[in-house]
Structure 1
């Protein structure tokens, strides 16, 4: 799914228009806290969907929708160029919908709902922290936790109640962004990051009294490459 770039475009426009801002260089020991809008836009690619070990169609799969929440970052500067950043957020909620001839043909839209938290620790490098405009890049490690998984109402209408499990994920994360020094230790921040998030989804039929005559215990499985782009616009404060 594609996320709008309007917040990032607005942030870039503000950065381009701000002139005469007195710059304060980052130094070892500086602590930067940021908060703002963060959108997770999954790629949503998946393998074929299997039920009881049988493929539901060569083009069967799932797609995952976008969500926007409060994003938080905490950065500790090791020196004027290098810092360690932790990404946090309020829980993201995602709906997974069926794709392909079988799922769409059966009228199955929503197949599962889940919440997730993607804490990420990154090393960040600022190209010129002496200036008011401070561009940076980052590389780090992500651990995504899935919870509150539920069967989608459309799918459960034909399978009955489902037990849903999504495996947690480890993966790399990369980002580009900038801080704009607004004075008085205030910052405007914008960033774009890619996170490698892969999960195996397992939906287990709880009872055999269902429209598809699936035996109780039948497992519906697929591997999902969520691999989202994450867009953030934040206000920060340097201590």
Structure 2
């Protein structure tokens, strides 16, 4: 699967970068250059990031009462903004903001519907993170939190109407920052959101109900700025 391939690549990259980062830190110290300051060394507790984000959905779901029905959803590339507050050197809370859209296609026994409709998503996500801070400029982290996705600007295509319900989800996260100096860094990040909203639609005059199993991977890279 595409998502598992991306995750393996990120894990491999992390494993390769960590010893290189540590060696670079040692070399800088040996040459008299000051390494990047620890996250709590006189810095503001606030941090922000701007990423380019790939939204890769799980193609699954269906219409109640229609055996063999399936759904698929379009993948997108969007900008994402997040804001973090550090309670300590290791613990932070991150709010992630962005918006995207998904085209919904019928599959399986309802594949003749082709594009059922389209909806926009606003999925603010709050994640509690743990950061490793003993690797110099290389700062990996993991996190877990909650997502609430709001669906708006919904429209039907082969369906006369489409109404996807707002829904809570669980979010898991792993990534790293590589700090260039005390304020600027680069970031690579992967999140998995378990999101399975209910929906209503009107198809050919008949009202139907079902569940969309979106469960998206959010794979991003961008810039970090620590105030």
User: Retained in 2: the 8 A contact 1:38–1:230?
Assistant: yes
Aligned partner of 1:191 among 169, 189, 192: 189
> Where does structure 1 lack aligned partners over 5 or more consecutive residues?
157-161, 206-213
Q: Per the alignment, in what secondary structure is the counterpart of residue 110 of structure 2?
A: helix
Question: Cα RMSD (Å) of the superposition?
Answer: 2.6
Residue aligning to 1:138: 143
User: Retained in 2: the 8 A contact 1:178–1:189?
Assistant: yes
Q: Deviations over 1:59-97 (max 9, x none)?
A: 1121112111101111110010000100011x2011111
Map 1:148-187 onto structure 2 (within 5 A).
148-152=153-157, 155-156=158-159, 162-187=160-185
Query: How far has the Cα of 1:15 moved from its partner?
Result: 4.7
User: Retained in 1: the 8 A contact 2:44–2:226?
Assistant: no
Residue aligning to 1:83: 92
| Separation in 2, partners of 1:222, 1:143 | 19
User: Retained in 2: the 8 A contact 1:146–1:166?
Assistant: yes
Q: How many pairs are equivalent? A: 212
User: Retained in 1: the 8 A contact 2:39–2:133?
Assistant: no
Change (3 A) 1:134 1:181: same
User: Retained in 2: the 8 A contact 1:67–1:93?
Assistant: yes
Higher relative contact order (CA 8 A, sep 6+): 1
TM-score (norm 1): 0.79
Map 1:192-207 onto structure 2 (within 5 A).
192-204=190-202
Residue aligning to 2:119: 114
Q: Which consecutive aligned stretches of 4+ in structure 1 deviate over 4 angstroms post-superposition? A: 6-18
Q: Per the alignment, in what secondary structure is the counterpart of residue 51 of structure 2?
A: strand
Residue aligning to 2:32: none
2:101 counterpart of 1:103: no
Aligned partner of 1:234 among 204, 222, 227: 222
Aligned partner of 1:64 among 50, 57, 73: 73
| Separation in 1, partners of 2:16, 2:121 | 32
Query: How far has the Cα of 1:219 moved from its partner?
Result: 0.8
Query: How far has the Cα of 1:103 moved from its partner?
Result: 2.0
| Separation in 2, partners of 1:180, 1:15 | 9
Query: How far has the Cα of 1:12 moved from its partner?
Result: 5.5
Q: Deviations over 1:2-44 (max 9, x none)?
A: 4684995998599566634722211284211100201111113
